[in-house]
Amino acid sequence: MKKNVAIKVISLSLVLALFAGCAMAAGAVDPAAEEEVVIATAVETAFLERTAIRNELTYIGQVQPLKTVNIASMLAAEVTGVNFNVGDEVEEGDVLFTVDAQDMQNQIRQLQASVNALNVGVESAQYQLELSADGAQTRLLELQQEMALHNSESGAALAEAQRDTAYTQSQMFHSFNHRELRDIERDRRFIMDEIRDLTRGLNRDQYIENPRHPERYDPWVGAQYQALRLQLWPLDQEAQAIASRQETLRHAELAAQIGQSQAAGSLAIAEEMLETHREGMEQNQRMAEFGVQSAQAQLQSTQTQLAIVQDNLNRATITSPISGVVSARNVEVGQMVTQAAMPFTIVQLDPVIVQVSVSEALINLVHVDQEVDVVVQALGDNQNFTGRVTIVSPIANQASTFPVRIELDNPDGLIRPGMFSQVTFVQAESRGNFVVARNVVMSDEYGQFVYIIEDDHATRRPVTTGLESGNLIEITSGVSERDQIVVVGQEFLLEGTLVNVVTTNR
């Protein structure tokens, strides 16, 4: 455009010069003698409008599927059916292929029969447990043992009381009889002393010959002796009675002790029998509980085996875990598959992702959910898309750039994995100021300026600029919407230059 304007100006000057030369040759008036002719400089102008300017950075990325799932068989078996080919669309849950499951079905029937039998065994064991815990016969025996224990406890208590009573009576009578015997012995000694005094004057030889009949020697002595002997007889009788009572009390105390010992022994035997009975009941209870636990463990083990086989049977039907498109199929009917093989690959293409690596100058301006412009040039007229940032790596890779993932909606399936795309990030943006071509703003040692048209003459207007983007620059101050700014031809202008506005853009 600049060259075109310059050519127009030069051509106009040549035409004027030729026209002047012809006039002189034809005898026209000498131009030097006439007023000097001023030639206007042709320019294009524009009235500016406030708009936005963006500083953008563009990165190249390659389209990838959102998800790629390799489908494998968990069983080593023969393939019995295949339902999809490469390029087919599948929904989540669609059956991709099936494998032979006859053996597993037979195992399920066998295990189910075992489970039914073990359920009966568990019920039987539980019934035995209930009988051992709540049986009437067992309870009756326990009541009998408890009654025997109660009787033994009562007998032991009574025997102990009798023993205590006998002991108390024995002690009481022993104390009383001891005092009585002491008095009797005192009286007896007194009488014996009198007998000795009475017989002391007798001839010793005579007394020795007849010690029990002193009256044979002396009638008075004999009478006194008999009287004293009569006094001894009741004392001796009373002493014997006391001794007899003491012996009876000792026998009673001994019998009470023996009865108490026997009652204590009976109580111990009753307690042992009750404890033995209860231990037997507890043992039977534990045995019944163990039987229930054992039956339940066997049932649970068989149920676990059944669940495993049922799970394997479910795995015989291989379904798609996602909705997408079949990108690879490596299986045929009759083929044996293993866990190492990957019969199907499913890719999800709506949305798709583009991953680019941005520089450290931009990474802090990128955030999740940020919208970016994406161009897929392979799609021609339908190449422009709006993407959304979903992942921003906080760590740089080996190339010192930061991976960023962008998602693109792809409802029509036009964007295909492998296509190259251009992702544009906004590094800086400004709105509400004037934006012109970079060459409209000129500069010299006094600063930046533009030319505006006032009364058909060029006027220099100082301006300040802001954001630059490509061939555009932002003017932040110095002009307004009313100013007619020179946008073409400004290189040939000076302050006050007469201009010819060829075109004005609005």
Residues 6+ apart with CB under 8 A from 437: 471, 472, 473, 487
Angle at the Cα of 488 (from 484 to 494), degrees rounded to 5? 75
Q: Retrieve residue 360's tokens.
A: 């450290």
Of the two residues 478 and 155, the one the predictor is more confident about is 478
Range with the largest mean pLDDT of 15-29, 39-53, 202-216, 328-342:
39-53
DSSP 421: E
Say whether the peptide bond before residue 462 is cis (omega within 30 degrees of 0).
Answer: no
Torsion-angle region of residue 68: left (phi > 0), alpha (psi -120 to 50) or beta?
beta
Tell me: the pLDDT tens digits for 2-61?
333 333 333 334 333 333 443 333 344 454 445 566 789 999 999 998 998 888 888 999
327 within 8 A of 86, measured Cβ to Cβ: yes
Q: Residue 24's pLDDT is what? A: 39
CA distance 352 to 324: 11
Instruction: Note the pLDDT of residue 318.
Output: 86
CA atoms within 13 A on the CB side of 129: 16
Q: Which residue has the higher pLDDT, 418 or 204?
A: 418
The Cα 200–Cα 181 span in angstroms is 28
Give the DSSP H or E segment for 335. none
pLDDT tens figures, 268-281: 787 777 677 666 66
Q: Count Cα neighbours of 55 within 13 Å in the Cβ-side half-sphere.
A: 12
| Confidence tier at 303 by pLDDT (50, 70, 90) | confident
Judge whether 448 and 438 are in contact, CB under 8 Å.
no
Is residue 215 a contact partner of residue 222, using CB atoms and an 8 Å limit?
yes
| DSSP string across 177-214 | HHHHHHHHHHHHHHHHHHHHHHHTTS-HHHHHHSTT-G
Indicate whether this model's pTM tops 0.85: no
Q: Which residues of 293-304 are buried (b: 16+ CB within 10 A; e: fewer)?
A: eebeebbeebbe
Coil, strand or helix at 470: coil
Two tokens, residue 474: 């932002």
Per-residue pLDDT of 371-393, as tens digits, reads 999 999 898 888 899 999 999 99
Average of pLDDT values for 264-270?
A: 76
Q: Which of 56, 48, 55 shows the shortest CA–CA distance to 432? A: 48
Confidence of residue 407 (pLDDT cuts 50, 70, 90): very high
Q: What percent of the chain has pLDDT above 90?
A: 31
Helix (DSSP H) and strand (DSSP E) numbers for the chain: 6, 20
Strand partners, 435: 474
Shortest CA distance to 423 belongs to which of 52, 67, 68, 63? 63
pLDDT of residue 36: 62
CA atoms within 13 A on the CB side of 163: 17
Least confident of 48-62, 120-134, 300-314: 120-134
Distance from chain centroid for Cα 359 = 38
Lowest mean pLDDT among 7-16, 46-55, 406-415, 486-495: 7-16
User: How much is the pLDDT for 63?
Assistant: 93
Residue 258: is its pLDDT beyond 70? yes
For residue 65, give the nearest of 413, 363, 335 by alpha carbon.
413
H/E stretch holding 147 = helix 136-199
Task: Say which residue, 109 or 445, is predicted with more confidence.
Answer: 445
